[in-house]
Amino acid sequence: MLELLWLLLPAAAASGWIAARRSADTASRRPPERDPAYFRGLNYLLDEQPDKAIDVFVRMLEVDGETVETHLALGSLFRRRGEVERAIRIHQNLIARPTLSREQRAQALLDLGLDYMRAGLFDRAENLFLELRDTKLLQEQALEGLRVIYQQEKDWEKCLQVAEDLESIGGRPLGLERAHYYCELAELARAAGEEDRAHAMLKKALGASKDLSRAIWLQAALEIAAGDYKAGARLLNRIAEQDPDLVPEVLPQLVECHRRLGQRRELVALLEGLLASRGEPAVLLMLADVVQEDEGEPAALRYVAQHLGPRPSLASLLRLIRLAERAPNAVVPDLMPVLRDAVERLLERRPAYQCAHCGFNAKTLHWQCPGCRRWSTIKPVRDLDH
Ligand SMILES: [Zn+2]
């Protein structure tokens, strides 16, 4: 409640000051008993009786239009604190007043819309935001509210419309968002068996956000489903080149395309290129599969041992151990040093100390966490439990 008190004290002081100044001017223009009511409201707030306090403030509003801003601030404060019903009551009372200025009414409508959104009453919020959009007051905030609602409702057509409206009134660029809306529409079209529409939506997505990997990936899926593995592989390759983080994700489809095309040599060259540039564990595991399939387990074992590299992963180390188990007679030069080296590198990468509160990783024991500044929260990490 202290927060509310700080908000209202200046208002009370100011209204007292205005009242005093006015009574000095002309006794007849003195507003009716304003200050006692304010302090009664404050007392209710301090006694943790916010509903009685709201009653007092709302009644005061009926007699005094100068406290509109305070009511707006009080309403927002209740909403921020998660007391949405109280915020709604305050804003509804404000809107019901006939003497509000256009701007004040718009602000109260926007706030009430935000209250409704917070309460999950999206259709009511939508109506208020639509009204604001049409009156062209607080348009940007209203459109942003609509965009959030339509995203929540997965109404992608309306999302697109609102995003375009927002951009046209000079809001921030929403190319990435629009591209994802088109991708959503493309996925729906694909699920409904409308390939042509899906392709058209993806073209628009790439027009809104050039090279968006999601759109290219969806294009690849359409090509693969249509049996065009060559086009599929080309698109997936493009994703692997421009977005290396997605390599593990697109890898299975990429391998499948090359298998269908019977391009084993191209596939191995491609995978080795990816392994050399990124050292991606998923790529090494995929290569191990290919080698194992074509040349058997001893060959796969030798391959993994040779390519474990300077950044081994637990998954590739496990693969190596399993292959060694299954092919005990395979001749692998220096298998034990390779294993030892991999474990040493994994241990080196592991943080020695970690904050139990914020997860900050440290090489040495700090008594105060450099991340969250708490004391005695940094503990030694045991084995791999981080
Ligand atoms: Zn910390």
C-alpha of residue 360 to centroid of ligand 1, in Å = 5
For ligand 1, the distance from its centroid to the CA atom of residue 341, given in whole angstroms, is 32
- Decide if 187 is inside a domain: yes
Amino acid 11: pLDDT: 52
Tell me if 50 is assigned to some domain.
no
**Ligand 1 centroid, distance to 354 Cα (angstroms):** 8
How far, in Å, is the centroid of ligand 1 from the Cα of 385? 17
User: Is 6 within the bounds of a domain?
Assistant: no
CA 53 – CA 35 distance, rounded (Å): 14
Tell me the CATH number at 229: 1.25.40
**Is residue 98 a part of any domain in this protein?**
no
Is 177 inside a domain boundary?
Answer: yes
Q: Give the model's confidence band at 8: pLDDT under 50 very low, under 70 low, under 90 confident, else very high.
A: low
Asked if the structure places residue 191 within a domain, the reply is: yes
Distance 296 CA to ligand 1 centre (A): 49
> 281: pLDDT confidence band, cut at 50, 70 and 90?
confident
How many structural domains does the chain have? 2
Distance from the alpha carbon of residue 368 to the mean position of ligand 1, in angstroms: 8
Over the stretch 339-368, which tens digit does the pLDDT of each residue have?
999 998 888 888 889 999 999 998 889 999
CA of 366 to the centre of ligand 1 (A): 10
pLDDT digits (tens, 9 = 90+) for 91-104: 998 888 888 888 98
The last residue of a domain, from among 239, 267, 284:
239
- Expressed in angstroms and rounded, the spacing between residue 347 Cα and the centre of ligand 1 is 22
Structural domain containing residue 200: 173-239
| Residue 302 located in a structural domain | no
Evaluate whether residue 294 is within a structural domain.
no
Question: From ligand 1's centre to the CA of 376, what distance in Å?
Answer: 9
Distance (angstroms) between ligand 1 centre and the Cα of 82 equals 28
Which pLDDT tens digit goes with each residue over 138-185?
A: 999 999 999 999 999 999 999 999 999 999 998 789 999 999 999 999
Q: Examine the fold and report which residue of 239, 271, 296 is the final residue of a domain before the chain moves on.
A: 239
Question: Which of 239, 274, 294 lies at the terminal end of a domain, its last residue?
Answer: 239
pTM: 0.73
Distance 361 CA to ligand 1 centre (A): 9
Chain mean pLDDT for the chain: 85
Report pLDDT for 23. Answer: 43
Cα 355 to ligand 1 centroid, rounded to whole Å? 5
